[in-house]
Structure 1
Amino acid sequence: MTTSGRHFLQIPGPSNVPDSVLHAISMPTIDHRGPDFKELFTHCLTGMAEVFGTSNQVVIYPATGTGGWEAALVNTLSPGDEILCYETGHFSSLWKAMAEKWGLRPTMIAGDWRTGADPEKIREALAADTDHSFKAVCVVHNETSTGVTSRIPEIRAAIDEAAHPALLMVDTISSLGSVDYRHDEWKVDVTVSGSQKGLMLPPGLSFNAISDKALAAHETSTLPKSVWNWTEMLAAGRNGMTPYTPSTNILYGLKESLRLLNEEGLDAVFARHIRFGQATRAAVEAWGLEVLCTNENEHSPVLTAVIMPERHDADALRALILEKFNMSLGAGLSKLQGTVFRIGHLGDLSDLTLAGTLAGVQMGLQLAGVPIRTGGVDAALEILKGT
């Protein structure tokens, strides 16, 4: 059945791509060994360093965020190295599983999937590691499966309190460009990100921001690396080039995305996302439903995970909303499947788009026979009007 009107893509990534970014991507392909590419790539490297908040050179790969995870591990670690991970949801678990495939030995601090990484538990684990066996601490900044944002500055402080030399690696795949993040100031060693969320691009680019300490670890790392090798990527990047074929047309899109972010101003972008999160949670509360995240200081500005009442299936609700209103919502992942749906409110989004999204959710809940109170949209509008 054909549905009139636009499709509402309200999953927490890949996010909507602005028209001007799509137009930029459609530019004719250029010689990736010529002067035009050098100018384009140098511009993107400089712009991404500003978004990460780093003075060091950033690495840009033609890959998804998963490639960025792998690059962070293989460029800094050696077979058998122990790492400390924190279970905040589906994606933290996947990063741990990747480490195991590479012959690393991850220890996972158990979490409840409703709160972020606990700085005190990380401090305790590192303080007990008197032999400094842990070579890295891996944390997801914004856990896309749960709508929880971990407090990275407090985690950095916990590592420093424990006087532990472990590298701090942070996944910002669903937060960079939407949530305040400061690689250098927060003393993060490797920051991983991807193109398809806050940067408002299709999937296809991944990034590593790298500290001097991580570069030193790279010199002694013995895990195999070819495509991901920082040495080759950084050397080529200093000349505005790449050691192998880049995603030329997506880089055109990245240049335009950076222009849009700078035009709005990153502080304004961050404030807008905070406001969208507040409005969405106000709607959920007014409906009488429960937000998955339980810590007021860790609510994600880019998505909200909503718990369905007992005997109501989240996937059935999502299917109904897609059929009736042509809107896609995020599914519950792994152990949250069927019990949670996720509302994405990130990237190329306006107050009016969010209001329409929440209206679609409210209508869907009512059609599905989910017992809710009306007034969720009005509660959200009060937040949006007031700010």
Structure 2
Amino acid sequence: MTLRTGRHFLQIPGPTNVPDSVLRAMAAPVIDHRGPEFQKLTNRLLPALATVFRTRGPVVVFPASGTGAWEAALVNTLSPGDRVLCFETGHFATLWRTMAEALGLDVDFVPGDWRRGADPEVLAARLAADPAHRIKAVCVVHNETSTGVTSRVPEIRAALDAADHPALLLVDTISSLASIDYHHDAWGVDVTVAGSQKGLMLPPGLSFNAVSDKALEAAAAARLPRSYWDWRPVIEANRNGFFPYTPATNLLYGLEEALRLLAAEGLPAVFARHSRHAAITRAAVRAWGLEVLCADEREHSSSLTAVLLPEEHDADKVREIVLERFDMSLGSGLGRLAGKVFRIGHLGCFNDLMLAGTLAGVRAGLELAGVPLAPAGEDPTPELLRTA
């Protein structure tokens, strides 16, 4: 077994690096989740969490991955046979569709090329063709983790408003919350889906639903089966500072510290940092003579960059070399992109020197894999970092 020195570079787009202070917070002793100390924690935590979602409404916390939050969003708001409109923006949008179908929903799946986000014009046309309002919900992945494409949610909301259509808007922010500017209330989102292991800088294990008043009204009439995922007992118990079942106590300790870090930096500064790192990464990829997968300049992700390799080269081979030689993990291509792209995560607890090391390792790995690149002298990364 090869001895590794230094820290592993975890440059997948989640789980992300966990700050040391968050790790220390989670190392606290387990406490009574029915006692007054835990009650105080909950009463501090939930308002701070709502601030990150930019909402005044409830945020429901489940001990689960983001997949659980997907299911909670669907089963709390919809009934068997309801029609939902989904956009094929990538692998995770496809998985959300599969879940909806398994739950007995009628899914209208708008096909896509995995290089662009949800199209507001297509949505407007589908809504115009639905005068009977059979569409009960529109499901959009804000930041598609498999592609590095960010859908324009305010334009999706505008299309719903222009059509005066009552469909709920459900948005997955699993890889965008606390990394890309997002407004649950102001953008008119009814259910926001999120997870702990990306911009929130925690290990996997917590999932979230931010819920609008309209979604709560829908939940009162929804008939899909729900028990564990039911919002109502969670919201009711939260009013008193508790949960209806055993919560992930130490992850909640870590969440409080992560929220403190985000507040100390300031959300506008957090978003600006992510945007700057993403722009530098794209500039480096293009200077190498390679192609960024996202094809619309309005939709580049600030959380990750997916790099498309020439057809004759295997992206997984590049990832294998980078891991073996430089102890750095890059994200794989998922679904139809397997072997065609690798993904560079630049979200969460991340800084300029980490980005410089990441890009240096990626370039060296590409060279070792025999991928033809532009001359090294054309790489703008050092200058971009100096002037950032």
TM range (shorter): over 0.9
- The answer (yes or no) to whether the contact 1:141–1:171 under 8 Å persists in 2 is yes
**Residues 130 and 31 of structure 1: is their aligned pair in 2 closer, same or farther, counting only changes over 3 Å?**
same
User: Shift of the alpha carbon at 1:14?
Assistant: 0.4
SS in 2 for 1:157: helix
What is the letter of the counterpart of residue 104 of structure 1? L
TM-score (norm 2): 0.98
User: Shift of the alpha carbon at 1:310?
Assistant: 2.0
Looking at structure 2, the residues matched to 358 and 134 of structure 1 have their Cα atoms a distance apart, in angstroms, of 44
Alignment-derived partner of residue 265 in structure 1 = 266
Superposition pairs of residues 61-210 of structure 1, within 5 angstroms = 61-210=62-211
- The answer (yes or no) to whether the contact 1:355–1:377 under 8 Å persists in 2 is no
What is the letter of the counterpart of residue 145 of structure 1? S
What is the letter of the counterpart of residue 92 of structure 1? A
Please list the CA deviations of residues 190-221 of structure 1 after superposition, one character each: whole Å capped at 9, or x if unmatched.
00000000000000000000011000000100
Alignment-derived partner of residue 371 in structure 2 = 370
**Residues 74 and 321 of structure 1: is their aligned pair in 2 closer, same or farther, counting only changes over 3 Å?**
same
- The answer (yes or no) to whether the contact 1:14–1:203 under 8 Å persists in 2 is yes
Structure 1, unaligned runs of 5 or more: none
User: Shift of the alpha carbon at 1:111?
Assistant: 0.8
- The answer (yes or no) to whether the contact 1:306–1:341 under 8 Å persists in 2 is yes
User: Shift of the alpha carbon at 1:375?
Assistant: 3.4
User: Shift of the alpha carbon at 1:93?
Assistant: 0.4
SS in 2 for 1:329: strand
Alignment-derived partner of residue 16 in structure 1 = 17
Alignment-derived partner of residue 295 in structure 1 = 296
SS in 2 for 1:198: coil
User: Shift of the alpha carbon at 1:386?
Assistant: 1.9
Please list the CA deviations of residues 120-177 of structure 1 after superposition, one character each: whole Å capped at 9, or x if unmatched.
1011101101110010000000000000000000000011111110000000000001
User: Shift of the alpha carbon at 1:3?
Assistant: 2.4
Please list the CA deviations of residues 221-249 of structure 1 after superposition, one character each: whole Å capped at 9, or x if unmatched.
01111111111010001111000000000
Alignment-derived partner of residue 217 in structure 1 = 218
Structure 2, unaligned runs of 5 or more: none
Looking at structure 1, the residues matched to 377 and 244 of structure 2 have their Cα atoms a distance apart, in angstroms, of 52
Looking at structure 2, the residues matched to 227 and 365 of structure 1 have their Cα atoms a distance apart, in angstroms, of 46
Looking at structure 2, the residues matched to 226 and 28 of structure 1 have their Cα atoms a distance apart, in angstroms, of 30
- The answer (yes or no) to whether the contact 1:276–1:301 under 8 Å persists in 2 is yes
Sequence identity, in percent? 65
TM-score (norm 1): 0.99
SS in 1 for 2:301: coil
SS in 2 for 1:343: strand
Looking at structure 2, the residues matched to 72 and 260 of structure 1 have their Cα atoms a distance apart, in angstroms, of 28
Looking at structure 1, the residues matched to 99 and 40 of structure 2 have their Cα atoms a distance apart, in angstroms, of 35
User: Shift of the alpha carbon at 1:378?
Assistant: 4.1
* Count of paired positions: 387
Please list the CA deviations of residues 25-78 of structure 1 after superposition, one character each: whole Å capped at 9, or x if unmatched.
110000000111111112221111000000012111111100000000000000
SS in 1 for 2:380: helix
Please list the CA deviations of residues 67-100 of structure 1 after superposition, one character each: whole Å capped at 9, or x if unmatched.
0000000000000100000010000000000001
Looking at structure 1, the residues matched to 246 and 378 of structure 2 have their Cα atoms a distance apart, in angstroms, of 47
SS in 2 for 1:328: strand
- The answer (yes or no) to whether the contact 1:287–1:376 under 8 Å persists in 2 is no
User: Shift of the alpha carbon at 1:5?
Assistant: 1.8
**Residues 24 and 377 of structure 1: is their aligned pair in 2 closer, same or farther, counting only changes over 3 Å?**
farther
